[in-house]
Structure 1
Amino acid sequence: MSQVNPKEELQTLRDWVRWGASQMLKAEVFFGHGTDNAWDESLQLALHVLHMHWSEDPSLLECRLSMAERDKLFGLLSRRINERIPVAYLTGQAMFAGLAFAVDERVLVPRSPMGELIEQAFSPWLLAEPTRILDMCTGSGCIGIACAHAFPEAAVVLSDISPDALSVAEANISRYALEEQVQTVLSDGFSGLAGQQFDVIVCNPPYVDSQDLATMPPEFLCEPSIGLGSGHDGLDFTRRFLEQVHQHLSPQGQVFVEVGNSWVALEAAFPEVPFTWVEFERGGHGVFTLTRTEIDRYFGGS
């Protein structure tokens, strides 16, 4: 980061956002936790300091920052650049499917393309409103809570192997007063869900293969490793999921699973399975869907 202290020269929000973005680009930080550019990340940090949300009024960029605000923003930009901490951890918040979620280093930063799928109510795949939804490997709870908003009559279960992650998810359940609709379950895969069936199961499991894991940018080292790596080809968890999921899916049920870059390995491992890969208008890839009928046919259901 620049050795020149900008606190005297930079006064407006526009000055600071521009300067912060320039410093990020100069330092070659990695953008992959909900944003893809330096300007948006710099703006997020600035608005966090000002306790404001983005406004369509462009005059906001001309507001002058107090010295206390400049001190705080300079500190956050310094940490983003020098420590490579994702912006969401610095602000304690991330957006997903139009909703704000509390996040910290106990969970991955929400960034799944499934948000777009949920906003579309899983169209065109769901033929009926689901009554029970499972969000496996829930982390912050963002996917399951977004599903609860999309289907307010459905009971939603958030499961995770990490008690720390479930603490974050429970805070987000409380944030939206969804205690009557959404519950958490401590579970390694399906181990804590015996006897339960669901109409929709969404899962954003660990899926990074060993090669990608070894070469990931330092920003990812801030995140819990349990939520990233999954064996040599990234499919250890997904294989176990596919072997067991038929026991927990209703007869007309559907699964939606994200495997990211490991989609190539998944198709190679199961060449006979007709995975349907979801296409996203806003970017993202590696999310497949299968019906209960397809799962029974290829993974040994009854």
Structure 2
Amino acid sequence: MRDQAHIISCLNTLRDYVRYAMSEFARHEVFLGHGTDNNWDEAVQLVLAAVDLAWDVNPAVLDAALLPDEKKQILSFIEQRVDARKPLPYITRQAWFCELPFYVDERVLIPRSPIGELIQQQFSPWLREDSVTRVLDLCTGSGCIGIACAYAFPDSEVDLVDISPDALEVAGINIEKHQMVDRVFAIESDLFAELKGRKYELIVSNPPYVDAADLASMPDEFQHEPELALGSGPDGLDITRKILRQACDYLTEDGLLVVEVGNSEVHLMQQYPELPVIWLEFEQGGNGVFAISAADLVQYKDLI
């Protein structure tokens, strides 16, 4: 970072600092992919958050002058983003998923799953909306998938399950934030271990799925995310295999399992070519998400 006193003396408005942030992002080649895909959006969100303004505030405010303390706060945010390579949502403590705001910090992954598009479509045509009374968000992290499902299926109860007590603390913050304490519940469990006797019409999971090769080559920004939530063995499927073996015991007869495996999709197809999973397509981008019915999981259980 350049001399802070000099910057403060030369730059005065929010627009000035947005331009400066963009230049710093370009100079240092920061990685984008935790919520924005261009330096303008990244800079606007960072600068506005530093002065407690919403990202969609009237653009006229960009020409407003800043107080010295506000300038220092913005420069602190830029320094965290550029020098420490901290992803934007960890700096602002907010991420958006399914057009909903969620609290996030380094205890959980930053929401970015293409499953959000499926939630907004109520998992149609693979699931009947009126049949959903219980949903399980397995490996929940921040709770964003399960809470978004609670919005999509307003008559349902949702269990948010994670092995990490730290992640469940964040999920609890989001349950309260969205005023869903009466029907969304955080449960500490190693996958299904603490769920005996429970049945769900829908199980959704974005488990750790990054294989060893991809984990070693990820940009520095990903080093801020909990490794427990990223890696899953040499092929990225250690946890997914467990989910596939056990999920049928926790699904209703007409239930549906939806799992994200990202780039480990290729490993799953190679290892289980006969498993009748449906690889889902997304209009808004994304890949590596499959669905499989409870009936097919029962029929092909011996293959997994």
* Range into which the TM-score falls when normalised by the shorter chain: over 0.9
Q: Is the 8 A contact 1:113 1:283 kept in 2?
A: yes
Q: Is the 8 A contact 1:12 1:62 kept in 2?
A: yes
The alpha-carbon distance between structure 1 residues 292 and 212, as it changes in their structure 2 partners (threshold 3 A), is same
Question: By how many angstroms is 1:60 displaced?
Answer: 2.5
Q: What is the CA–CA distance in structure 2 between the aligned matches of 1:221 and 1:168, rounded to whole Å?
A: 19
> What's 2:142 paired with?
140
> What's 2:78 paired with?
77
Q: What is the CA–CA distance in structure 2 between the aligned matches of 1:274 and 1:66, rounded to whole Å?
A: 60
Q: What is the CA–CA distance in structure 2 between the aligned matches of 1:151 and 1:87, rounded to whole Å?
A: 30
Q: How does 1:252-263 map to 2 (within 5 A)?
A: 252-263=254-265
> In the TM superposition, what whole-angstrom CA distance separates every residue of 1:4-59 from its partner, at most 9, and x where no partner exists?
74222222222211210111111011112122222212111111122111336331
Letter in 1 for 2:37: D
Residue-pair matches, total: 301
- Residue of structure 2 aligned with 1:249, choices 248, 251, 266: 251
Q: How does 1:120-199 map to 2 (within 5 A)?
A: 120-129=121-130, 130-199=132-201
> What's 1:39 paired with?
40
Structure 2 regions of 5+ residues with no counterpart?
none
Letter in 1 for 2:284: R
Q: Is the 8 A contact 1:159 1:187 kept in 2?
A: yes
Letter in 2 for 1:230: S
> What's 2:220 paired with?
218
Question: By how many angstroms is 1:126 displaced?
Answer: 1.1
Q: Is the 8 A contact 1:254 1:291 kept in 2?
A: yes
Q: Is the 8 A contact 2:122 2:129 kept in 1?
A: no
State the SS of the aligned residue for 1:7: helix
State the SS of the aligned residue for 1:148: helix
Q: How does 1:1-12 map to 2 (within 5 A)?
A: 1-3=1-3, 5-12=6-13
Q: Is the 8 A contact 1:2 1:23 kept in 2?
A: no
Q: What is the CA–CA distance in structure 2 between the aligned matches of 1:114 and 1:147, rounded to whole Å?
A: 10
Q: What is the CA–CA distance in structure 2 between the aligned matches of 1:54 and 1:31, rounded to whole Å?
A: 17
The alpha-carbon distance between structure 1 residues 121 and 128, as it changes in their structure 2 partners (threshold 3 A), is closer
> In the TM superposition, what whole-angstrom CA distance separates every residue of 1:247-267 from its partner, at most 9, and x where no partner exists?
000011001110001001110
> In the TM superposition, what whole-angstrom CA distance separates every residue of 1:65-96 from its partner, at most 9, and x where no partner exists?
22211110001101111011111111111111
Normalization by structure 1: what TM-score? 0.96
Q: What is the CA–CA distance in structure 2 between the aligned matches of 1:16 and 1:174, rounded to whole Å?
A: 34
> What's 1:282 paired with?
284
State the SS of the aligned residue for 2:291: strand
Task: Tell me whether 152-161 or 51-60 shows the greater mean CA deviation.
Answer: 51-60
Q: What is the CA–CA distance in structure 2 between the aligned matches of 1:248 and 1:166, rounded to whole Å?
A: 21
Q: Is the 8 A contact 1:204 1:257 kept in 2?
A: yes
Q: Is the 8 A contact 2:207 2:240 kept in 1?
A: yes
Letter in 2 for 1:123: S
> What's 1:30 paired with?
31
Q: How does 1:10-21 map to 2 (within 5 A)?
A: 10-21=11-22
Normalization by structure 2: what TM-score? 0.95
Q: Is the 8 A contact 2:138 2:207 kept in 1?
A: yes
**RMSD of aligned alpha carbons:** 1.4
Q: Is the 8 A contact 2:129 2:153 kept in 1?
A: no
> What's 1:234 paired with?
236
Q: What is the CA–CA distance in structure 1 between the aligned matches of 2:299 and 2:260, rounded to whole Å?
A: 21
Q: Is the 8 A contact 2:51 2:73 kept in 1?
A: no
> Quick check: 1:58 aligned with 2:59?
yes
Question: By how many angstroms is 1:64 displaced?
Answer: 2.0
Q: What is the CA–CA distance in structure 1 between the aligned matches of 2:36 and 2:43, rounded to whole Å?
A: 10
Q: Is the 8 A contact 1:246 1:295 kept in 2?
A: yes
Structure 1 regions of 5+ residues with no counterpart?
none
Letter in 2 for 1:240: K
Q: Give % identity.
A: 50
